[in-house]
Chains A and B, each alone.
Chain A
């Protein structure tokens, strides 16, 4: 990370001081455009915007999560580009990555909030438990309190991963902790949802770069996802789509159709209802993605994906009606907290009652 004396310098100035050539910068911009799923015609505009962009403060909060989202980002294959991005931002708080702990760590968060009030970018991964604050705390502070406190001065919030964006696996039936998403709690700040379990690394960095480059939110879909990455369904961009159009399907995982790479729709593929960039961006250095490896898409970037019926039932087979989570507004008052708890217990009881289990028979289909 760059030291504090560089906080007010533009990225262009910082890069030149580091001896990075303009040619290298152009390469960075070309790759950034590709990461942001922007047209290559935008490369000169990205170069101009980045040249003049100033270093933002970023606070990253992790709540009920598995750290998969951070793993996804920090193990992104574009090492050089990622390191440039990390050099460029001031990651002032990330309790998994930072060396400081205890009071020193919390002090870093409070200082960053104070010094950059109204300007810092808040990244959240993980859902927030509303049943009992004790389910997840950091430095004795409940996830709810830390989120609400930190969100106040944020310019924008990026909910990274399906847990932060829509509640994710903690929110799955029977939702034992009363988990909710960032968007369920905060209504007065711009929120960008970057779902996925985990999200594709370049989708995380691409979204961050969009904000850092242009200082504005990317265009979002109806559930708050950047259209650049989530604008098309997996099915629309799947290389197996032509088999679907011809009615050629794998019926089991080891039949002739599966061996010939036919469409996995009948094996439960959620590609037609899932919006993400896996089919083009792919995973593991652009090597492959689940459908290419022969497994149906699970739909992990969609709300309630864990409760959407069996992963191995075709979409046309009836599944129960999945309702969105109860919306918790950020009223903030203690009374509201009690009410939220009561509503959430009701929701939890409902979830327990309708909880579906996947059987061995489902897997054999």
Chain B
């Protein structure tokens, strides 16, 4: 099934899309098509595109909120939101002062940053082992 028959952005008559909103949304649509046809993900850096005041908000409004909203605490807050268009995610990174430092539209089945990372899983395995050892030692000492 071609994505062009599936993806229809919810743009209402009367929505005044300024110069860069429509081309960018079309890029997202092409990226969805690529995801469906080849399984290949696309990341669009919103900070690399010239947007007029209000245009970024307009894009976010058109994409809307979907079923998944996740908050990460990793070097400051990050938000990962699936839009109302499945496979289209908004990933926003904040610094410690809650200022946005980067924002991406990711067209993928799962943004990489949401997945547990192999290195962290290995570190977690060691940490849990140490915790259980300590627990065991404490139990022995108590008895």
Using CB atoms and an 8 Å cutoff, list the residues of chain A in contact with chain B: 16, 20-24, 26-28, 30-31, 33-35, 37, 39-41, 43, 77-81, 84, 237-242, 261, 279-281, 285-286, 288, 292
Contact = CB atoms under 8 A, between A and B. Distances in A.
Given A27-B74, A280-B48, A41 B100 contact: no
Contact of A81 (B50, B72, B95, B116): B95
B82 to A, nearest CB: 18
Interface residues of B, number: 37
A233 to B, nearest CB: 11
A27 B104 CA distance: 11
A261 B45 CA distance: 25
A43 B113 contact: no
B95 A23 contact: no
B76 A21 contact: no
A37 B45 CA distance: 9
Contact of A26 (B45, B50, B51, B113): B113
A328 B118 CA distance: 55
Given A23-B72, A23-B74, A34-B45, A80 B119 contact: no
A285 B118 contact: no
Contacts, number: 99
B117 A77 contact: no
B120 interface: yes
B125 interface: no
Contact of A33 (B45, B95, B96): B45
Interface in B9-40: 18-20
A223 to B, nearest CB: 23
Given A22-B118, A280-B50, 5 more contacts: A21-B74, A22-B117, A30-B104, A239-B20, A240-B52
Contact of A280 (B47, B95, B96): B47
Interface of B: 18-20, 43-45, 47-53, 55, 72, 74-76, 78, 91, 93, 95-97, 99-102, 104, 112-113, 116-120, 123
B125 to A, nearest CB: 14
Q: Sort A-B residue pairs by CB-CB distance and give the 3 closest, nearest first.
A: A40-B43, A22-B117, A239-B52
Nearest to A37: B48
A261 to B, nearest CB: 8
Given A40-B44, A239-B52, A77 B75 contact: no
Contact of A31 (B43, B48, B52, B102): B102
Nearest to B122: A22
Main secondary structure of the interface of B (DSSP, over half): mixed
B101 A77 contact: yes
Contact of B95 (A21, A26, A77): A77
Interface centre among A22, A41, A43, A280 (most CB of B within 10 A): A22
A80 B95 contact: yes
A81 B93 CA distance: 11
Given A30-B104, A80-B75, A80-B76, A281 B55 contact: no
Given A30-B104, A31-B93, A286-B100, A41 B47 contact: no
Given A80-B96, A292-B53, A24 B75 contact: yes
Nearest to B55: A239
12 contacts: A16-B119, A22-B117, A22-B118, A22-B119, A27-B74, A27-B113, A79-B95, A239-B20, A261-B52, A280-B47, A280-B50, A292-B53
Contact of B51 (A20, A24, A78, A239): A239
A283 to B, nearest CB: 13
Nearest to B118: A22
B104 A239 contact: no
Nearest to A285: B99
B141 to A, nearest CB: 28
Given A41-B43, A242-B19, A286-B47, A81 B53 contact: no
B13 to A, nearest CB: 22
Contact of A43 (B43, B74, B99, B123): B43
A78 B101 contact: yes
Contacts of A279: 50
